[in-house]
Amino acid sequence: MQYFNSNTVLYLNGKFEKAADTTADIYGQSLHYGYAVFEGIRAYSTHNGTRIFKVREHFERLKRSAELVHMPFHWNINDLIKQTYKLLEMNNLKDAYIRPLIYCAPNMSLVAGTKTSIMICAWEWGAYLGHEQLKVCISSYERPNPKSTPIEAKVSGNYVNSILATTEAKNKGFDEALLLDMNQHIAEGPGANIFIEKNGRLYTPPLGHILPGITRATIIELCHILDIELIEKHLTVKDIKHADSAFFCGTASEIAGIGSVDEYVFPVKWVDSLGATLQRTYKCLVLEKQNYEVII
């Protein structure tokens, strides 16, 4: 996957620069310790031009992530939205994945950084998990204890856990992993929240040991609109292996159907599942111009 070429432009601390000309400091806390926060955002080509879905919610979560790990956030969100649209225009991107990253200045200590930078880049990226039904395995890795790190923050270092889980799953011949929490409850995928269907209802793990996904919140909103009963509760491996269907959701993956978990194959065909209904509705939602905010 090529994320940039010689003409790609990124946004760095108030300026637009060619990606090929930028540098990173090898003594930075973010590089050495994973002390950085980020967001994943999607832009879609709509009938009203290129629009970024739930852009304000993403930048507000970026700010909240920084606050949770004591990283200074001194940017105006309205300006960041404006500059992100300009970034897409400068790179001639219509359907794109956008990655803002806040990182720290050189500092080899383990004391919270006092000087931060922001970088925003974007590239064309299809659905992260593809469009086929996924073969998923229960991971031997668990999500971190919420008392060890703020789970609700998108901290770069937390995603080492995700890399380990995904790598393990692929080495075993699966497409993706499903992680449990410290209490052996279903938590989430390495980069996506999970929903399961049983007897016409949807279930999803409650907040506390999972990332509060923006796509997850959107799915919950759509369930209310479509009159789909949605229950947030702790789920076990037994629950998912007796479910009718299941799916992951996240900004990068959008809505991705799961065909099986370990040896268990879901009995309901994806096309007949609640997940497929929500997948179609979500796609319509992200293409509706009234769902977007543009800062001029």
Catalytically annotated residues: 154
**What is the Cα–Cα distance from 180 to 182, expressed in whole angstroms?**
7
Q: Are residues 114 and 137 in contact, defined by beta-carbon separation less than 8 angstroms?
A: no
CB–CB of 137/172 below 8 Å?
A: yes
Decide if 130 contacts 138 (C-beta within 8 A): no
CB neighbours of 91 closer than 8 A, spacing ≥ 6?
Answer: 8, 9, 122
Burial class (CB in 10 A: 0-12, 13-18, 19+), 147: exposed
Element (H, E) at 264: strand 264-265
E-state strands within 96-244: 96-104, 116-123, 134-142, 176-180, 186-188, 193-198, 201-204, 230-232
For residue 141, which of 177, 176, 114, 175 has the smallest C-alpha distance? 177
Q: How far is CA 153 from the centre of its chain?
A: 11
Q: DSSP string covering 62-82, please?
A: HHHHHHHTT------HHHHHH
Q: Are 278 and 219 in contact (CB under 8 A)?
A: yes
Spatial neighbors of 194 by CB under 8 A, at least 6 apart, are 178, 186, 188, 204, 205, 246, 247, 248, 249, 258
